[in-house]
Structure 1
Amino acid sequence: MARMADTSELYKYFEPTVQHNALALSNIHTLTSWGVGTAAGILGLTGWAGFAFFLASWAVISGLVLAVKCEGRPSVYFKSSLMDVAGTPLLNTLLSYVLVWTLMYALVYIYD
């Protein structure tokens, strides 16, 4: 006879709450990528320096989300905890960052 799964594990996450947390996290990442992209464009960063700036700011933002919003316990708010906070939205955020970075760089330095 098959053993029943632990009921506390079955009801550990309430799906609407997890989706709300994921949406809030997505908004944080998108808005900060726009701000960081704007800063990189205005500062005139080009090439690898711009990508290094993005990665450094990504680490700071993810650390702040983990420390402040998740209170150091991301597994309480997300199913795959650290991967949901720092890993999964990285590519989408990078694309937004590059878009705003190049736009701001062009507005400040190319169209003088």
Structure 2
Amino acid sequence: MAEQADLYKYFEPTVQHNTLALSNIHTLTSWGVGTAAGVLGLTGWNGFIFFLMSWAVISGLIVLVKCEGKPSVYFKSSFMDVAGAPVLNTLLSYVLVWTLMHALVYIYD
């Protein structure tokens, strides 16, 4: 007999809830990382490299902590849902907060 977790593995309301929770985590962490980049005074490619490094760390932590190392249990396309799909939306939020914080800290001294 199949386990109960396998029966609800791709139950659409559960997958949508997981995707919404993941989106919230990525949005909030992009705001925090953008704030850190702005306050640190990162400009140009340094800011984007900082974003990519933090994105890798955050995605890895989500897979290890929230998904317990098994993202395929919580998402349909497993790791791509966690790390690949929301990167552009999160990048836009990051750039917005990054430039705002950089302007507040360094331009208006």
Report the TM-score range of the alignment, normalised by the length of the smaller protein.
Answer: over 0.9
Give the deviation of 1:11 after TM superposition: 6.1
Moved over 6 A (4+): none
Matched residue of 2:24: which SS? helix
Q: Deviations over 1:9-68 (max 9, x none)?
A: 996411111000000000000000000000000000000000000000000000000000
- Give yes or no for the alignment of 1:101 onto 2:93: no
Q: Which runs of 5+ in 2 are unaligned?
A: 1-5
Could you say which structure has the larger radius of gyration? Answer: 1
Give the deviation of 1:80 after TM superposition: 0.6
Matched residue of 1:79: which SS? coil
How far apart, CA to CA, are the structure 2 residues paired with 1:75 and 1:10? 14
Q: Which runs of 5+ in 1 are unaligned?
A: 1-8
TM-score by length of 1: 0.90
TM-score by length of 2: 0.92
Out of 53, 75, 95, the residue aligned to residue 50 of structure 2 is 53
Q: What is the root-mean-square deviation of aligned Cα atoms in Å?
A: 1.3
How far apart, CA to CA, are the structure 1 residues paired with 2:87 and 2:50? 14
Give the deviation of 1:98 after TM superposition: 0.2
